[in-house]
Structure 1
Amino acid sequence: MSASSDLRATAGRATVSTAALAVAAISLAPLLVVASRAFGAPWHEVTAYFLRPRMGELVGHTLALVGVTVPATVVLGIGCAWLVERTDVPAPSLWRILLTAPLAVPAFVSSYAWTSAVPGMEGLGGAALVTTLAYLPFVLLPVAAVLRDLDLADEEVARSLGLGPRAAVLRTVLPRLRPAASGGALLVALHLLAEFGVLEMMRYPTVTTAILTQYSMGFSNDEGAMLAMVLVVMCLALLGLEMLLRGRARTARLGRGVHQRAGRSALGPWRWPATALLAVVVLLAVAVPLGQVGRWLVRWVDRGAPGAAELLAAAGSTLLLAAAAAVVAILAALPGAWRLDRHRNVGTIAMERVTYLASALPGVVVGLAMVTIAVRWLPALYQSAGMLVVAYSVLFVPRAMVTLRSGLAAAPPELSEAARALGSDGFDTFRRVVAPLVLPSALTGAALVFIAASTELTATLLLAPTGTETLATGFWEATSEIDYVAAAPYAALMIVLSAPVTLLMLRQSGASR
């Protein structure tokens, strides 16, 4: 390779590294801005604010919701996954699809359906019921994937050593489910910290609802930043707790022998009660929301579809903003994913972790930080579509990065080196060799970001340009006025847009096999 080629390769690597570092810096900016604003006041004022009784009430409500919903989703998710994957319940493939379907219904849409079906439903019980049913697939999908591919050999060894069927499962199977279950539980807990729509409809105040309420009523943004720091601390605590629960014990099997798939246990007289249990879960998690949305949608059509023009405008805005967020997130994730795949070291791993930390922050925290940045340093971007797209990208860039890394794994460096040896420059090598192999993964990542951005609520409420309405904000405005009929078409369109993510999750988890 010539000296000029070496210089071009070095310059290319430097450019990619600079871009990856810039993305990490932008992702970290919301956390730094919120922290600086929260602790910019005199220390005694900060301490007094955190020690207020109201703060204790908000934190207590948030922890209570996490304490009820997370164990409920873990128990229900593992139980349903076990019934579908390891027992003789009828039509397991159908149950896999139906139990994943709640992903197609945004949680705040489910809350809308339940509050309209059961007037007066509110408080911790109502919030826990809706969030448990909405977030159940986050635990069920990874656990079911492990159960499908679990090797039966260790369980048989335990049985040969004198353990009964139940003891053998407890000693050999449950430990292997721990990483999947703890990862799903973490995802549920982080979603609960970010949840606003469900809790506001259920009249269950938490730290997140207090931040939105304070901002909308024009209170001090410094106090909003203090509340946001409480959520940041909770996020960090949950990340640390999940690492402890996951543990370092090896759960993979490596050795000689043919992989044996576990058979299905006969439930005997319990087969139909178990099937009825799955049916009840699907009824509560899917049939009730879809039935209520359909009911109000019929009434909206009977009224002559009032507000159809506003609905179409909101749909157009949602599609444009979500598409822009998908493109920006893919472009932002590509340098970091490339460095991780080609030049993995401590620095690239740190940059990756920074983007993941930012995505773990609730949308309200990122939105509040973006408001501060715009007001203080970039007033021309305040309440602009560009700022909203940047916020979406900060929140969802890890979804793009994960899928891009899987695509880059299919394009090994040896292929690029061979192309350069044959005379192709860096850009031509990427265009002709790498891009075709990465494109399917990039499209999957873009779809995931698109769906997430199209249903995002809290950051959109804070950052949406004046006069711009998305499906999520239009739905929220209608439900705030308790106009269930007007909210129905917005809810229906969000479900239609969210449906593809269900198919993607099924495909990625292997449940469609």
Structure 2
Amino acid sequence: MTAAPVRRTRTTAGRRAPAVLLVPAAVAAAVALLPIGYLLLRTAEAGGPAIWDTLWRDRTLWLVLRSLGLAAAVTAAAVTVGVALAWLTTRTDLPGRGAWSVVAALPLAVPSFVAAYAWVSVVPEVSGFLGTWLVLTMSTYPYVFLPVAAALRRVDPALEEVSRSLGRGPWQTHLTVTARQVRPAVAAGALLVALYALSDFGTPSLLRYDVFTRVIHTSYQASFDRTPAAVLSLVLVAVTVAITVAESRSRGRAEHARVGGGSARALRTVRLGRGKPLALLVTGGVAAVALGYPAAVLGYWVSRGSSAGVEWERLLPAGVSTLWVALLGALAATALAVPVGIIAARFPRGGGRFIEHATYAGHALPGIVVALALVFFGARYAQPIYQRTPLLVLAYTVLFMPAAIGSVRAAVAQSPRSMGEIARSLGRSPLGVLRDVTLPLAGPGIAAGFALVMLTVMKELPATLLLRPTGMDTLATRLWTETGVGAYAAAAPYAVALVLLAAVPTFVLSRVQASLVSDDAATRVVEETGGET
């Protein structure tokens, strides 16, 4: 079969994003920047002296250092654990590595504040930096493990064989060939971990470690003057933007894509030999701390509270509400994330880069700040949805859209750029390329982003506390209420139900990530568009 003639076109990097992508992406950026607009308004109303007084306090610098130190420590530890587990479960002869792959992803189903509750309810002395660092690390390393494991499975073994044939040893090949191919996945996972550590509220609050989120929340609750909290929140936004810019530059222009399934040869399996017991100790130890201990504590408190019975009339409605708002939040966030993710992968210059960074800005805001900004917006400009589900869904979209953007961007970046150019040369319109080429290639990433957002919404706490419709409870809010008064046994059923519900999107997410390995969408798109590569 003769390939259809291909008309010479400009590269995608030199073109502007089509309006069919740019308009919804601009809407996504506007939605994400809405809370920041509120912060700017509140800050401007206070005047310059009040702003400078807050910025130049010793406490502000202290909070910056503590928050950045915690985020850096958690990110470094999560990257170390996530990359190590990904390598052990994909590239070695670790016994039961398929089962360990599932176990390594399951901590995503355990909300960080549930893990913190498990520690503080049994060992109250576990508090401060070390306790917060441990809980956040064990809760966030799957954000690195899942994309890195998928990237390692997609590595073309032919490249490693060429490197070895040129005289490079195993470690040199790993550093110069394999590591370069998985670097974008590591950077994307590290970015999510850093943003999570900066914006988490439940864990530092339960473990009594003052960071931006805890202090901002306290300031909002303790005073009618919102200026200090608004100024601190803007500082947190600036830190977030700096982190996303650094991640974008570390990603650089690296683009690792191949057409179809690549080489048919299996990946080279590393023999652990005498290191096998140590590898099992590492994987088992991580599973014990991240899953075993919280499960044992929950079982203990459930057994302690079984004599009083389960409040089914509260538990069941809370579970249904949790599932409903999680579905709505995931749909809204993913719908807006798709155009942003495609633009970030295909049109990263100029406006595309600004839109991507703008959508990440809201992700690091504490949920309480986003919620109060939307209360202000709803009370003044959107009264029909004030104290209703749509406003809560809007908050979820602002907070968790970046999780879906990262998945979409990674899936599109791994697909060959030439696919869209071939389709355009064959007469397809920009909308036709999006429908028939880009979206099918991004399908696994879209599904992964949807599952990740749904999972994260289930675990969200501060925004839900403030924006939930009157009379509605979720599992997270009921758990927080019972824990706040020291009723650990009464809180346990809500924690168990939340973990069980969250396990469903976690399983879907792990399966979708695995499908990225063997997906042959690129080959199907080439055949359907009539081109050959």
Letter in 2 for 1:70: T
Residues 219-277 of structure 1: CA deviation (Å, up to 9, x unaligned) = 4222221121121011101101112322335656799x946443212222111121121
Matched, 1:192 2:183: no
Q: Tell me the equivalent position of 1:267.
A: 272
| Aligned equivalent of 2:460, options 456, 461, 479 | 456
Distance 2:109 2:309 in 1: 27
Identity %: 38
| Alpha-carbon distance change, 502 to 86 in structure 1, aligned in 2, over 3 angstroms | same
Q: Tell me the equivalent position of 1:508.
A: 512
Alignment of 1:382-401 (within 5 A): 382-397=386-401
- Give the match's secondary structure for 1:203: coil
Deviation at 1:42, TM superposition (A): 2.0
Alignment of 1:101-250 (within 5 A): 101-249=106-254
Alignment of 1:344-383 (within 5 A): 354-359=358-363, 361-378=365-382, 382-383=386-387
Q: Tell me the equivalent position of 2:522.
A: none
Residues 29-81 of structure 1: CA deviation (Å, up to 9, x unaligned) = 22222123224322222111111122122222111111211111111211222
Task: Check conservation: 1:148, 1:261, Cα contact below 8 A.
Answer: no
Distance 2:252 2:441 in 1: 35
- Give the match's secondary structure for 1:40: helix
Deviation at 1:404, TM superposition (A): 8.3
Distance 1:18 1:158 in 2: 44
Distance 2:63 2:345 in 1: 42
Q: Tell me the equivalent position of 2:6.
A: none
Distance 1:190 1:437 in 2: 27
- Aligned-CA RMSD value: 4.1
Deviation at 1:288, TM superposition (A): 0.9
Deviation at 1:142, TM superposition (A): 1.5
Structure 2 unpaired stretches of 5+: 1-17, 424-430, 519-533
Deviation at 1:23, TM superposition (A): 4.7
Task: Check conservation: 2:338, 2:446, Cα contact below 8 A.
Answer: no
Q: Tell me the equivalent position of 2:313.
A: 309
Distance 1:343 1:180 in 2: 19
Deviation at 1:357, TM superposition (A): 4.0
| Alpha-carbon distance change, 317 to 266 in structure 1, aligned in 2, over 3 angstroms | closer
- Give the match's secondary structure for 1:295: helix
| Alpha-carbon distance change, 94 to 439 in structure 1, aligned in 2, over 3 angstroms | closer
Residues 176-207 of structure 1: CA deviation (Å, up to 9, x unaligned) = 23221111111100111110111111111110
| Alpha-carbon distance change, 32 to 327 in structure 1, aligned in 2, over 3 angstroms | same
Residues 113-154 of structure 1: CA deviation (Å, up to 9, x unaligned) = 122242310011011111111111111112212222223334
Structure 1 unpaired stretches of 5+: 1-12, 416-425
Alignment of 1:424-443 (within 5 A): none
Matched, 1:299 2:300: no
Distance 1:265 1:339 in 2: 38
Q: Tell me the equivalent position of 1:468.
A: 472
Q: Tell me the equivalent position of 1:43.
A: 48
| Alpha-carbon distance change, 464 to 152 in structure 1, aligned in 2, over 3 angstroms | same
Distance 1:339 1:206 in 2: 34
Q: Tell me the equivalent position of 1:32.
A: 37
Greater mean deviation of Cα atoms: 141-150 or 377-386: 377-386
Letter in 2 for 1:505: L
Greater mean deviation of Cα atoms: 41-50 or 385-394: 385-394
Distance 1:157 1:339 in 2: 33
Task: Check conservation: 1:103, 1:501, Cα contact below 8 A.
Answer: no
| Alpha-carbon distance change, 46 to 481 in structure 1, aligned in 2, over 3 angstroms | same
Q: Tell me the equivalent position of 1:9.
A: none
Letter in 1 for 2:50: E
Deviation at 1:379, TM superposition (A): 5.8
Letter in 1 for 2:196: H
Task: Check conservation: 2:105, 2:510, Cα contact below 8 A.
Answer: yes
Distance 1:438 1:244 in 2: 23
Residues 266-323 of structure 1: CA deviation (Å, up to 9, x unaligned) = 2221111211211111111111112211221222222222x33232332343334334
Deviation at 1:172, TM superposition (A): 2.6
| Aligned equivalent of 1:89, options 94, 108, 126 | 94
- Give the match's secondary structure for 2:45: coil
| Alpha-carbon distance change, 229 to 342 in structure 1, aligned in 2, over 3 angstroms | closer
Task: Check conservation: 1:39, 1:226, Cα contact below 8 A.
Answer: no
Deviation at 1:449, TM superposition (A): 3.9
| Alpha-carbon distance change, 383 to 218 in structure 1, aligned in 2, over 3 angstroms | farther
Distance 2:183 2:22 in 1: 36
Matched, 1:69 2:80: no
Residues 307-350 of structure 1: CA deviation (Å, up to 9, x unaligned) = 33232332343334334434544665678789999999976776
Distance 2:215 2:160 in 1: 49
Distance 1:492 1:318 in 2: 13
Greater mean deviation of Cα atoms: 461-470 or 201-210: 461-470
Letter in 2 for 1:458: P
Letter in 2 for 1:477: T
Letter in 1 for 2:472: T
Distance 2:169 2:407 in 1: 42
Deviation at 1:398, TM superposition (A): 5.2
Greater mean deviation of Cα atoms: 447-456 or 322-331: 322-331
Task: Check conservation: 1:123, 1:204, Cα contact below 8 A.
Answer: yes
Residues 379-429 of structure 1: CA deviation (Å, up to 9, x unaligned) = 66554433222212333345567788989x9xx9999xxxxxxxxxx9xxx
